[in-house]
Amino acid sequence: MEKLKVAVVGVGGIAGAHMPGWKASEDAELAAGCDVNGEALAKWGAEHGVDKLYSSVEDLWQDDEIDIVDICTPNMYHAPLGIAALEAGKHVLCEKPLAPTPDEVRQMIAARDRSGKLLMTAQSVRFTGNARAFKDEVDAGALGEVYHARCWALRRAGVPVRPGFIQKEHSGGGPCIDIGVHMLDLALWLMGNPKPVSVNGVAIAPLAHQEGAFSEWGRAPIPPEYDVEDFAAGFVRFANGATLVLEMSWMLHHGGSENGVWLYGKDGGGHWPSCEFFRSNYETRQHYNHTLKLHDDGIGSHAEECIAFARAVARGEASPVPAEESLQVVQILDGIYKSQETGAEIVLD
């Protein structure tokens, strides 16, 4: 069978992590690239042996040979590009978050439904070996009914200082929407994606604008045009009665950088990424702990998500990360920003 043809839109940054997946896929192959930076596009094409290079997405949409579009641009461009690609008859894999607002995600879902094509958010952490092993254990009933979760994505002076991250007109937000999206998606997926009903949160920048503030990445100073939060936190209630607490920061006076999830159920608790599980026997009054044997990471989570998407397209299967689950994630993140603006709890649609 002829392989599906893939076009990458936005060939810098995270696109590099997708390339091994497209090259390893049995179902797809790189066929084109598109970027507004001609020099970067030419360099990318030469590096990956791709001759079909577009400076205009409108020209790309007209290319009937392209089956899959991989969107790797800053956040604020995800929805318009994704909708246009779907309307042009392409399947769409889009970097996280699927879009900065719930309304934009709904518009993408509507475009997906009209087109009959697949739409998937590149939530790479789901494709790590330890996440898959943890999910299998939870689904097998190791925790019982999960009633509370904690998740966090924290860095010490780990600000990506490029405009696509630190200017709201491009990113839509700071660490809440950049790295928080990974841990929130993972926590919700592990919980079975319960329906969120309300959010209370904060999104502030107590450190980024201090004199001398810098990022450890290159010891670069925080640019004056930085206009997003550097810390966010939230409390979420779900329709099934469960709750979740999340914390996200690029800048903390903290012991280092760390990501994590705790799930607490009526029969036990579990921690990711250590994949340790904790249970108690109330008859013997003893505690029992065990650590999972992890699944293999394959060739890396970013690559594996591309392989999984191409496989789903080729076999006519459902999206490995349904857009409806991404909508829940964005509803919560958007709720945190709205809660900061209003000083009140946000009731979700």
Per-residue pLDDT at 296: 86
Residues 119 and 266 in one domain: no
Domain region containing 53? 4-125+299-320
Q: What angle do CA 130, 136, 141 make, to 5 degrees?
A: 130
Domain-embedded: residue 230: yes
Predicted pLDDT of residue 349: 82
Indicate whether 151 and 117 sit together in one domain.
Answer: no
36 and 108 belong to one structural domain: yes
Whole-angstrom distance, CA of residue 341 vs CA of residue 236: 17
| pLDDT at residue 256, as a whole number | 87
Q: Specify whether 270 is located in the same domain as 130.
A: yes
**80 and 190 share one domain:** no
Task: Convert the pLDDT of each residue in 295-343 to its tens digit.
Answer: 888 999 999 999 999 999 999 999 999 999 999 999 999 999 999 999 9
**Do 140 and 83 lie in a common domain?**
no
Both tokens of 39, joined, read 């020099």
208 in the same domain as 237:
yes
pLDDT at 261: 98
Lowest mean pLDDT among 55-64, 135-144, 285-294, 307-316: 285-294
Q: Which two tokens stand for residue 107?
A: 């518009």
Helix (H) or strand (E) holding 126: none
Residue 8 sits in a domain whose CATH number is 3.40.50.720
pLDDT in tens, 71-81: 999 999 999 99
Residue 222 DSSP one-character state = P
- Average pLDDT over the chain reads 97
Confidence of residue 50 (pLDDT cuts 50, 70, 90): very high
101 in the same domain as 175: no
Across 40-58, average pLDDT: 97
pLDDT tens figures, 3-47: 999 999 999 999 999 999 999 999 999 999 999 999 999 999 999
The predicted pLDDT at position 336 comes to 98
Q: In terms of domains, do 172 and 249 share one? A: yes
Max CA-CA distance within the chain? 69
% pLDDT > 90, the chain: 95
Written in H, E and C, the secondary structure of 160-197 is: CCCHHHHCHHHHCCCHHHHCHHHHHHHHHHHHCCCCEE
- Asked if 103 and 196 sit in the same domain, the reply is no
Give the bridge partners for 30, in sequence order: 6
If one counts the domains in the chain, the total is 2
- In a shared domain, residues 286 and 153: yes
On whether the CB atoms of residues 330 and 100 are closer than 8 A, the answer is yes
* pLDDT at 204 (0 to 100): 98
The answer to whether residue 26 is domain-embedded is yes
Give the per-residue pLDDT at 43: 97
- If phi > 0 it is left, if psi is from -120 to 50 it is alpha, else beta; for residue 132 that is alpha
Claim: this prediction has a pTM higher than 0.85? yes
Share of the chain above pLDDT 70, in %: 100
Q: What is the pLDDT of residue 169?
A: 96
Clarify whether residues 96 and 179 are in a common domain. Answer: no
325 falls within a domain: no
Q: Is 1's pLDDT higher than 80?
A: no
Lookup result for tokens 């945190």: 336
Compute the distance between CA of residue 89 and CA of residue 64 in angstroms, rounded to an integer: 9
The answer as to whether 339 is a domain residue is yes
Confidence at residue 297, expressed as pLDDT on a 0 to 100 scale: 87
User: Is 324:98 a contact under the CB 8 Å cutoff?
Assistant: no
How far apart, in whole angstroms, are the C-alpha atoms of residue 40 and residue 306?
Answer: 22
Taking the C-alpha atoms of residue 231 and residue 254, their distance in angstroms, rounded to an integer, is 12
CATH number at 234 reads 3.30.360.10
